[in-house]
Amino acid sequence: MNADNDRHGLQQWHSTTIIGVKRGDRIVIAGDGQVSMGNTVMKPNAKKVRRIGEGDKVVAGFAGATADAFTLFERLEKKLEQYNGQLLRAAVELTKDWRTDKYLRNLEALMIVADKENLLVLTGNGDVLEPEGGIAAIGSGGNYALSAAKALVDYEDDPETIARKAMAVAAEVCVFTNGNVTVETV
């Protein structure tokens, strides 16, 4: 919880674990459904992973403030339209805006996005990161899922199996992550 929110008696929303796994010609993004405020589960079945863009060729998952994430989804969809579905170009342009725009720079969210070729992590600092080893995870249980997935890649080839098992580990360890998982594949 940041000091400003703590001083004003506001509680920080904790919501999620999102993981992206790229193996061979398949990319999977999975996310849990829990949204918590303090030590209370506010919603157990939120959908934080979804298809976006024309033809649903891009999958995106978010961690952070829900309203902020929906704003970013909308902005990314507009950038995908503007750049003819080129995810990498759209992501770079979105993060430029996110970092420099007075309104957008206050948004508190992270995103993992993917199309057939790219698996990317987007941040409000202007980062467009392609994860090493084809695995990325964000959110309160992200490090647990990332560690589990990295342990599984030597034994498992299927990205969906890796993502689901990693999410199960995160759900067992992180109190802000549940086993209600949404999975999308590109």
pLDDT in tens, the chain (186 residues): 344 444 333 334 456 899 999 999 999 999 999 988 888 898 999 999 999 988 899 999 999 888 888 899 999 999 999 999 999 999 999 999 999 988 888 888 899 999 999 999 999 888 999 999 999 999 999 999 999 999 999 999 999 999 999 999 999 999 999 999 999 999
- Alpha carbons 21 and 8: distance in angstroms, whole number: 39
The token duo for 9 is: 């008696």
pLDDT (0 to 100) of residue 171: 97
pLDDT (0 to 100) of residue 105: 85
CATH number belonging to the domain at 3-178, selected among 3.20.20.210, 3.60.20.10, 1.10.540.10, 3.40.50.80: 3.60.20.10
8 Å CB contact between 73 and 94: no
- Alpha carbons 8 and 22: distance in angstroms, whole number: 42
Q: Kind of pairing, strands 35-37 and 13-14? A: antiparallel
Q: What is the helix (H) or strand (E) element at residue 18, kind and residue range?
A: strand 17-23
Q: Which residues are catalytic?
A: 16
pLDDT (0 to 100) of residue 15: 64
- Alpha carbons 95 and 127: distance in angstroms, whole number: 7
8 Å CB contact between 74 and 66: no
Model pTM?
0.90
- Alpha carbons 134 and 115: distance in angstroms, whole number: 13
92 burial via Cβ count (<10 Å: 0-12, 13-18, 19+): middle
